[in-house]
Amino acid sequence: MNNPLVTIIIPVYNGTNFLKEALDSALSQTYQNIEILVVNDGSTDDKTEQIAIEYGDKIRYYYKENGGVASALNYGIQRMNGEYFSWLSHDDLYYPTKIEKQIKAINKNINKSRIVYSAYDILYEESGAKESVFLEERYKKERLENSVFSLLFGLMNGCSLLIHKSHFERVGTFNEALLTTQDYDLWFRMFRGQKLIYINESLVISRRHSQQGSRTIQVYNSERENLYRNIIENLSNDEIRKLYRSEYNFYFKMTTFFESRGLYEVYKYTYNKLINIENNVMKSKDWRKVFNQLIEYPSRKISKICLFGMGDYGKQLFEELVCRMIPIHLFIDNDGRKWGKEHKGVICISVDELKKCKEDVLIIVAIITPKLIVNQLKENGFANVITLQSIEQILLETDPVEWLVKQRKEINSVNEYRLINNYNNEIFEMIR
């Protein structure tokens, strides 16, 4: 068994609230051959340095002038002795077996430089609630091991990674000019041409709290726009086809993704690429293929199709289905703040309200971790429940309707979307 040294680097800025917990989680690793570097990025509080120094020779502690998280990580990388790098944000935590399980996964492969990442838990600091993000609940493992898939859709948690030092020698380190997207910028340069290893077990706890850079740093959205634009522009045609079979499908997928996330500049870029690609008009046999996949999946005939989740994933799936001639009749959600609201003419209601017609409704669960919701719906007597993952292949194999896609730019009012949804419903009734 290969037993390499692993360097855990903890960059910290004003980490009084969380640093001790992060350090304790690093020191509690069941894998013993580790070193821990704490890089204090010019903290202005009184206790960050004091907390780190109290650990004595259990860690290596460094202080530097403030330069941002990228500069602190690079400072640590330059001083690491380990064969592998593992990042731990000062406000996050490792589960005890994080490093052990990742080293075991690497040791199963001939190529010891394979990059590993895992599922993770989200801890909401204000409420104390915890949510597990198991990506295999929604995506096939082969897609999660694709070099750029997880990056494009923001699925990867940087602290869940284990990276061989040779990758830094190959592509360099973090871009210190970036304040919030330095991680995904590096991962894109590093992962291309690699086959990743994904472990479908939560090995990291990622905190969500009010002081995170994504909430406090003003350039967050503009950096995300630039990051995605750079990724899209640099992907090869071969990489695009491996992701979504054709350029047309790829640019449609990215357009709906960026629109649902409010990234409007890069949305306009991908939409303009999309409408300039020549594509065959969707044929009636393709309509039937999509309908049959949805309607014949349960044992009964369906008269209504509903999306569970009126968040980013639900709105994105709404667009993808409408542009494949599938009408969406309702949104449902557990969040009472969304009840009564509309998205492009389709209203959101509660699960209880939908019980009145549960026998003839098909619910597609459109959230990143659908398992608990599927169980909830079935416990409430809904027999016809599927997930986005279960219909992903049919979406890959059938392109959206070209004329409808090209109309999207001209569709500005809710009434126009209602007309399209009504037209889709007429086809739905005819084919059904």
CA distance 417 to 422: 8
Domain 6-221 falls under CATH 3.40.50.11540: no
Q: Which residue has the higher pLDDT, 187 or 420?
A: 187
Is pLDDT at 413 greater than 70 in this prediction? Answer: no
- Give 35's strand partners: 7
CA distance 180 to 172: 18
Q: What is the mean predicted confidence (pLDDT) over 382-404?
A: 83
Q: Which residue has the higher pLDDT, 254 or 395?
A: 254
Which CATH code is given to the segment(s) 284-431?
Answer: 3.40.50.20
Q: What is the mean predicted confidence (pLDDT) over 175-201?
A: 94
Torsion on CA atoms 337, 359, 400, 258, rounded to nearest 10: 20
Please tell me if the domain spanning 6-221 has the same topology as the one spanning 284-431: no
Mean pLDDT estimate for the chain: 88
Exposed / middle / buried, residue 99 (Cβ in 10 Å: 0-12, 13-18, 19+): buried
Q: Show Cβ contacts of residue 422 under 8 Å, excluding neighbours closer than 6 positions.
A: 327
Percent residues over pLDDT 90 in the chain: 60
Q: What pLDDT, in 10s, does the model give residues 204-262?
A: 999 986 665 555 566 888 999 999 999 999 999 999 998 888 899 999 999 999 999 98
Q: Where in the chain are the domains?
A: 6-221, 245-279, 284-431
With bands split at pLDDT 50, 70 and 90, how would you rate the model's confidence at 46? confident
Q: What is the mean predicted confidence (pLDDT) over 120-129?
A: 86
Highest mean pLDDT among 81-85, 179-183, 391-395: 81-85
Dihedral sign from CA coordinates of 63, 68, 69, 72: negative
User: What is each CA distance from 95 to 121, 156, 158, 159, in whole angstroms?
Assistant: 10, 17, 15, 11
Is pLDDT at 297 greater than 80 in this prediction? Answer: no
